[in-house]
């Protein structure tokens, strides 16, 4: 594979591999933004006994799909489970790009930040503790979650910049958190990044790791061809060198988007959700024993913690 085709293959691979059976979003819908004539919604799942006067931890999920597909229902199962554990769990829509891939996904970045700002503006009516908000996502959505939590810049000009989008934790599933060092811009198949590509590269989440980065959990497949294990291990080392807690868990024999509920009878959906439960429990955000049972036959590569 030459440099000229490397990046488009990544994008197409993310799209194909992350396509899960469509699920409807769960929770109460709220419109956080109108962009290009479309209402963009957040779907908020609340825990049993929730009251608007609460001060609960929350997690905001961004779906995958290569920035051109997918929907906010991808994390419906995770939202339902984490709400049952006492958190607010939110899934976010964002603008999708045309499948001709002529533009870099800068508007996706903008929408993710707008969504987080809307949530922080409405913590009082949602019953959320502003200091305990996590961002999560898979593949392209993992990029958006990390973008929200790490990156300075790339905002929608209409946003209120006085509201920080930084979060207190990141939960990333096979996240596309960096791109090749140099964009291929020659050839018909590289058109996506002719418009805004250089800016998109500069805003890669991996460029913004610092000592103030939030504690992070990364869950990925040993054989992921889209986001290689070696790269995520390198990202973890960079985080740890800055004194930041960053854990990686790699699942033996698994590829991209293995965690979706419609894969392997939900085996790795459950296994990864138990890791998320453990991680959030370690932060003191949820308590008590997990209400799921680890499936048989799940193997990981090292601990990476």
Beta carbons within 8 Å of 149's beta carbon, 6+ residues apart:
135, 165, 166, 167, 170, 205, 213, 214
Task: Output the six-digit token pair for 95.
Answer: 């603008």
Count CB atoms within 10 A of the CB of residue 181.
8
Task: Output the six-digit token pair for 239.
Answer: 């985080």
Q: What is the pLDDT along the chain (305 residues), one digit of tens a residue?
A: 334 334 444 454 444 445 556 689 999 999 999 999 999 999 999 999 999 999 999 999 999 999 999 999 999 999 999 999 999 999 999 999 987 667 889 999 999 999 999 999 999 999 999 999 999 999 999 999 999 999 999 999 999 999 999 999 999 999 998 765 444 444 434 444 567 888 888 899 999 999 999 999 999 999 999 899 988 999 999 999 999 999 999 999 999 999 999 999 999 999 999 999 999 999 999 999 999 999 999 999 866 66
Q: Is 58 helix (H, G, I), strand (E, B) or coil?
A: strand
Determine the Cα–Cα distance for residues 44 and 33; give it in Å rounded to an integer.
15
Q: Quick check: 65 and 19 in contact, CB under 8 A? A: yes
Determine the Cα–Cα distance for residues 271 and 266; give it in Å rounded to an integer.
9
Going along the chain from its start, the domains and CATH numbers come out as 3-301 (3.40.50.1820)
Nearest Cα neighbor of 95 from 115, 81, 117 is 115
In 2-53, which ranges are E strands? 28-35, 38-45
Q: Quick check: 177 and 143 in contact, CB under 8 A? A: yes
End-to-end CA distance of the chain: 33
Task: Output the six-digit token pair for 22.
Answer: 């469509």
What DSSP state is assigned to residue 295?
Answer: P
């Amino acid at each position: 594979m030459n440099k000229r085709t490397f990046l488009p293959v990544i994008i197409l691979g993310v799209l194909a591999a992350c396509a899960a059976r469509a699920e409807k979003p769960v929770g109460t819908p709220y419109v956080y933004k109108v962009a290009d004539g479309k209402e963009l919604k957040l779907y908020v799942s609340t825990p049993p006994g929730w009251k608007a006067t609460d001060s609960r931890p929350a997690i905001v999920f961004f779906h995958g799909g290569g920035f051109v597909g997918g929907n906010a229902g991808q994390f419906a199962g995770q939202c339902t489970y984490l709400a049952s554990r006492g958190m607010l769990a939110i899934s976010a829509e964002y603008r999708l790009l045309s499948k001709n891939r002529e533009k870099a996904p800068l508007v996706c970045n903008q929408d993710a930040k707008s969504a987080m700002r809307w949530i922080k503006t409405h913590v009082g009516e949602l019953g959320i503790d502003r200091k305990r908000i996590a961002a999560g996502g898979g593949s392209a959505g993992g990029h958006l979650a990390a973008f929200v939590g790490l990156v300075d810049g790339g905002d929608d000009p209409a946003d209120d910049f006085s509201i920080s989008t930084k979060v207190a934790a990141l939960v990333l599933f096979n996240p596309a958190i960096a791109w090749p060092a140099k964009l291929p811009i020659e050839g018909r198949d590289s058109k996506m990044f002719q418009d805004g590509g250089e800016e998109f590269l500069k805003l890669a989440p991996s460029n913004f790791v610092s000592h103030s980065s939030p504690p992070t959990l990364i869950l990925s497949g040993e054989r992921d061809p889209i986001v290689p294990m070696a790269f995520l291990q390198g990202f973890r080392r960079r985080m740890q060198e800055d004194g930041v807690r960053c854990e990686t868990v790699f699942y033996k024999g698994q590829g991209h988007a293995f965690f979706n509920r419609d894969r392997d009878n939900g085996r790795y959906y459950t296994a990864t959700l138990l890791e998320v439960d453990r991680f959030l429990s370690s932060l003191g955000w949820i308590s008590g024993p997990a209400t799921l049972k680890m499936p048989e036959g799940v193997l990981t590569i090292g601990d990476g913690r």
